Amino acid sequence: MSEQNCVLCVCAKVTSNRECQIDQHHRNQCQYCRLKKCFRVGMRKEAVQRGRIPPSHAGISPASMVGVGGDVGGGQGMGAEFFNGQPVSELISQLLRAEPYPNSRYGAQCGQQLAGGNSSVMGIDNICELAARLLFSTIEWVRNIPYFPDLPVSEQVALLRLSWSELFILNAAQSALPLHTAPLLAAAGFHSSPMPADRVVSFMDQVRVFQDQVDKLTRLQVDSAEYSCLKAIALFSPDACGLSDPAHIESLQEKAQVALTEYERMQYPGHPQRFGRLLLRLPALRAVPANLISQLFFMRLVGKTPIETLIRDMQLSGSSISWPYVPGQ
C-alpha cells in the first residue's frame, strides 16, 4: 500500500500533519497511517506484498495476533504483527511465536487436578510435574527465539544456568501455576528431608518472598508480549560466567529492552511509569534463591541432582521432551 493508492486515508481531511490516531479502536480508519505505524516499529515493507503465513503453533491465540492483512501472523521472515490491536516489532513477534504452549495450559490443568482438595499428595506430585513442564517450555522457548541459537552452546548453557530461576518465576506467573500450594510443597519437603527449626523459618520466609514476587507480576497484569520481553532481558544477561563476549550479550539484552520500551509507549501511552515498574521486577526475581525453587518443585522428581546440571544436559543433548526425570514422558 502506498499513500497514492490508499483510498481510505482520512488524515488529509482531518489533520494537517497526516497523523491519524491508530489504536485498537481506530486502526482501520486510515490504512496509510496504520501502515506508517507498522514501519516505525520495524515491519519490513516486502512483508506487505508477500502476505501472511499461518502460525507455526497454537500457543498464541488468533485473537491476540492479527496481521496487517487481517490474517493470523506467522513465518520467520515476517515483519510487525498486531497484538491487542497494536503493531509490535518483529523481535516481539518472534519471541511470541517461540512460545511452545498456550499460556493457560498449566494453570487450567492444575486447577482441575487440585479440585476438591482431598488428595494433597497427588496434588503435590501433579504440581511438581507441571513445574517440570514449565522448565521444558523454557528450554524450548530459548531454542526458538532470535539470536540465542546462534551463540556457542557453552554460552547458551552459561546464560541458562544464571537465568533459569528468573525464567521459571516469569513462566509460573504467566501460566497461573497455583502457588498457594507452595507451603504445602515445603511441608512435604521437610517431611522427606528434615531440617533444623531455624532453617525451616528461614526457608518459609523465602517461600513467602517467592509468592510475593509472583503476586506482584499478577497485579501488574503483565501481558504475553511483556512477558516475552522480560524473559529475553533476563536471559541475555552479560553477568553470566564464562561468556567470551559479554558486550555482545549486553547488546542483545538492549534489543529486548528497546522493543519493550517501544511496546509500552504504543500499547500503554497513558501509563508512562509502566516500563519502569516492569523492569524493576527483574532484580527482585533474581533475589529469589534458585535452590529454593529447586527444593520446592524439583526435589521430589530429581532428588539432589542440580537443576543447572539437568539444564546443561538438556541443552547439550538438543532435546528436553525426552528428559528422563519426569514421570510419564
Lowest mean pLDDT among 18-22, 54-58, 319-323: 54-58
Q: Reduce the DSSP state of residue 304 to 3 states and report it.
A: coil
If you average pLDDT over residues 257-271, what whole number do you get? 94
Nearest to 136 by CA among 298, 304, 303: 298
Q: Which one is predicted more confidently, 27 or 58? A: 27
Backbone angles phi, psi at 327, to 5 degrees: -60, 145
Going from the N-terminus, what domains does the chain have, and what CATH number goes with each? 20-97 (no CATH), 105-317 (1.10.565.10)
Q: What is the DSSP string of 94-119?
A: HHHHT--S-TTHHHHHHHHHHTT---
User: Measured between alpha carbons, how far is residue 242 from residues 151, 155, 159, 237, 239 in Å?
Assistant: 13, 7, 9, 12, 9
Q: What is the pTM of this model?
A: 0.68
Q: Inter-axis angle of helices 197-220 and 153-174, to 10 degrees?
A: 80
The single residue listed with the C-alpha cell 514421570 is 327
Q: Is the pLDDT of residue 183 over 70?
A: no
Q: Is the pLDDT of residue 88 over 70?
A: yes
Residue 134 belongs to what H/E stretch?
A: helix 120-144
Mean per-residue pLDDT of the chain: 72
